[in-house]
Structure 1
């Protein structure tokens, strides 16, 4: 990095990474828990789990929605000196401080099947579904405005890309970086667009 240079991470990649690490462990915990003869029985446990799935998806989708919109609306053009973080680097940086919490959440979701089979896993998967829908919404915003949203990783990695420590987003052209609008992997990698 040259003088005055700083790094940026994609907002949508951060959200999409969180979605992935809630969705898949949640599904595995729900599938494993469905075979446990819990206190409520499989039918009631799974029906309760579906209700928890929907509730968690709605809560995570709507959480900080206004904050995301405000930050996106006030985003400024990124300077040419910025270094755009690779999506894999962003995903690893998000996962590193949270891996034990995610493992604990998975174990708790699996253990909850002793009371209500599959319910805890579906709750975790619902949080992932809501986050995935949020990443899709961010992708539509980016596509509509023909820009990509970026955030300073040191501000976003602790409390999330719309947390209180985030002072603002920056934008680049839609061809920048190695992730498409919404955070999905790009088939052809472009390092940076002016």
Structure 2
């Protein structure tokens, strides 16, 4: 980076990057998992899966919330020469780095259907829903602080990593208009020209 600038990735985008794949792989695994009768039967599997969905969504949404809040409070202003990474690049990096874990989780969810139908897929989908909830919470914090939150790319691990992991010492902040993602990490909607 020129003149000491750093590459920065949006925190909410990193959090949100896994939500879509986990959700859709979970839904597909749950549909496939509804075919076998399993050891418990479909009804018990579906009820257990629904409970697992709710628990997973809550746990993923709430885990490390205190660490995230501390990093939000301590966010410094981004430097003049810092480089803001595009949303698509951040998402692609995370998904490429985690593709084998996603495939293993999908295979495990489908395989578990022979014991407990549907449950593994709903657990996976619950993890995706929890990441969406965490990104939405971050979006509310960004709006309240009137600043978008960024993490240094070199502090994320090589797989696109955890934005609040042990290597991350602080986040950076910019104005709400910076970058190509809205608060919470969703695509920024552009007003249609008339």
TM-score interval, normalised by the smaller of the two chains: over 0.9
Q: Which residue of 2 aligns with 1:192?
A: none
In terms of mean alpha carbon deviation, does 76-85 or 20-29 score higher? 20-29
Q: Which residue of 2 aligns with 1:107?
A: 107
Q: Which residue of 1 aligns with 2:164?
A: 162
Q: Which residue of 1 aligns with 2:29?
A: 29
**Structure 1 residue ranges without an equivalent (≥5):** 190-194
Q: Which residue of 2 aligns with 1:53?
A: 53
Give secondary structure in 2 for the equivalent of 1:9.
Answer: strand
Q: Which residue of 2 aligns with 1:14?
A: 14
TM-score, with length taken from structure 2:
0.94
Deviation >3 Å, runs of 4+: none
Shift of 1:153: 1.8
Size of the aligned set, in residue pairs, is 189
Shift of 1:39: 1.2
Shift of 1:3: 2.2
Q: Name the Cα RMSD after superposition.
A: 1.3
> Residues of 1 paired with 2:107 and 2:3: CA distance?
46
> Residues of 2 paired with 1:161 and 1:61: CA distance?
14
CA offsets 1:143-176 (integer angstroms, 9 cap, x no match): 1111100001221245401111111100000000
> Residues of 1 paired with 2:63 and 2:16: CA distance?
15
> Residues of 1 paired with 2:25 and 2:154: CA distance?
27
Give secondary structure in 2 for the equivalent of 1:163.
Answer: coil
Give secondary structure in 2 for the equivalent of 1:3.
Answer: helix
> Residues of 2 paired with 1:187 and 1:58: CA distance?
28
Q: Which residue of 2 aligns with 1:174?
A: 176
Shift of 1:95: 1.3
> Residues of 2 paired with 1:35 and 1:154: CA distance?
45
> Residues of 2 paired with 1:80 and 1:21: CA distance?
34
In terms of mean alpha carbon deviation, does 169-178 or 89-98 score higher? 89-98
**Structure 2 residue ranges without an equivalent (≥5):** none
Aligned partners of 1:155 and 1:165 also within 8 Å: yes
> Residues of 1 paired with 2:94 and 2:153: CA distance?
9
Aligned partners of 1:178 and 1:188 also within 8 Å: no
> Residues of 2 paired with 1:122 and 1:66: CA distance?
27
